[in-house]
Amino acid sequence: MLTTFLHHQWKGFWRSQNRGGTIAAQIFMGFAVLYLLAIALVIGFSFEKIIPMMLPGKDVMLVFNGLILYYFAVDFVARIQLQDLPTLSIVPYLHLNIPRSKLVSFLNVRAVFTAFNLFPLIIFLPFCATVVASTLGGLVSAMYCLAVISLALLNNYAALYVKRQTTTHAYLIFVVMGVVAAVALLEYMGVFSIAGLSDRLFRLIAATPVLAVMFPILAIGVFIAHARYLRSRLYAEELSAGTEKKVSTDLPFLGRFGEAGILAALEVKLIMRHKRPRSAVIMSLLFVFYGFLFYKEKLLATNSFGAMIFAATFMTGSAISIYGQFMFGWQGAHFDGLLANRLSTVNFIRAKFLIFTVSSTIITLLVSFYGFIDWKIVMIQLAAYLYNIGIGSVVVLYFATRNYKAIDLSKGAGFNYQGVGASQFVLILPYFLLPYLFYLPFSIAGLPYWGLAALGAAGLVCLLTRRFWIRFIVKQFEKQKYKIAAGFRETS
State whether 318 and 336 are in the same domain: yes
| Predicted pLDDT of residue 282 | 76
Is 94 in the same domain as 171?
yes
Q: Picking from 50-64, 214-228, 438-452, 464-478, which range would have the lowest pLDDT averaged per residue?
A: 50-64
- Clarify whether residues 202 and 262 are in a common domain: no
Average pLDDT score over residue span 375-384: 89
If pLDDT is split at 50, 70 and 90, which confidence band does 143 have? very high
Closest CA to 219 of 112, 74, 84: 112
Rounded mean pLDDT of 121-150?
89
The answer to whether position 350 is within a domain reads yes
In a domain, 9, yes or no: no
Angle at 468 between CA 422 and CA 484, to 5 degrees: 30
- 239 and 268 within one domain: no
> Are residues 168 and 276 both part of a single domain?
no
Could you say which of 224, 244, 264 is where a domain stops? Answer: 244
Query: 311 near 290, Cβ under 8 Å?
Result: yes
Residue 20 lies in a domain: no
Q: Are residues 271 and 320 in the same domain?
A: yes
Residue 276 lies in a domain: yes
DSSP state for residue 131 in the 8-state scheme: I
Q: Is residue 1 part of a domain?
A: no
Per-residue pLDDT at 384 = 92
Residue 18 lies in a domain: no
Total count of domains within the chain: 2
Among left, alpha and beta (phi > 0; psi -120 to 50; other), residue 57 is left
What's the pLDDT tens digit per position in 68-85? 888 888 888 888 766 766
User: Which range marks the domain in which residue 135 is found?
Assistant: 26-244
Do 181 and 312 belong to one domain? no
Give the C-alpha separation, 312 to 295, whole Å. 9
Which domain-ending residue is among 222, 244, 266?
Answer: 244
171 and 127 co-located in one domain: yes
Same domain for 282 and 209, yes or no, is no
Mean pLDDT of the chain: 78
Per-residue pLDDT of 277-334, as tens digits, reads 877 777 777 778 777 778 888 888 888 888 889 888 988 888 888 888 888 877 777 7
- In tens, the pLDDT along 2-28 reads 566 555 655 655 555 444 444 555 565
How far is the C-alpha of 435 from the C-alpha of 458, rounded, in Å? 9
Mean pLDDT on 21-44: 68
User: Is 49 among the domain residues?
Assistant: yes
**Range from 25-34, 162-171, 219-228 carrying the lowest mean pLDDT:** 25-34
Q: 190 or 200: which carries more pLDDT confidence?
A: 200
Last residue of a domain, one of 193, 210, 244: 244
pLDDT at residue number 457: 92
pLDDT tens figures, 103-113 = 777 777 777 87
